[in-house]
Amino acid sequence: MSAEEIETKLSIWKNVGADVFYMNSAFQSFDSGFFNWEEQILLPSSKNELSEKLVDWTASLVKAYQTIEILRREYPEYPEISNALILPNIEAFKQASADFTNAIRSSGQDAPSALVVTLKPLAATLRREMDITKKWLTGLAETAESKVNKLSELK
């Protein structure tokens, strides 16, 4: 590997590390807010607030992922990098979040206990997609750190 290629890859992986940090922050906001969704739907005002926050959290997470996606598209000549940057479930995550949010918004004056029954399967689907995303983020962070360390040694 040439010195120029080492520098290029090192720069890319450093950027990936920074982008993963940004995306992980967005993910943590989403995760902490989603954690107690059953409590948040008990009052109409908190139910509305939860649905608004879900939209915002999803948008923040998708925006953070888009910065990683831009890097992926910029360096197709490095498939070991571009392949690692593909979030396998981004569309499923967005759909699960939208389905959960829309169910909250369309619930009207449903009794909280009935709403919990309605939302549980949707929440489980969203949780599954969040777990996939978290696993990918963790793996990507570890890969970026390892690659930065190895490439730094080659300089």
Residue ranges and CATH numbers for the domains of the chain are 3-146 (1.20.1420)
Q: How far is CA 12 from the centre of its chain?
A: 20
Distance CA 101, CA 47 (A): 10
User: Which pLDDT does position 145 carry in this prediction?
Assistant: 96
- pLDDT by residue (tens digit) across 86-132? 988 999 999 999 999 999 998 877 777 888 899 999 999 999 999 99
Distance CA 155, CA 150 (A): 9
Tokens of 124: 């489980």
Q: Which of 72, 69, 55 is nearest to 23 (CA)?
A: 69
- Say what the pTM is: 0.88
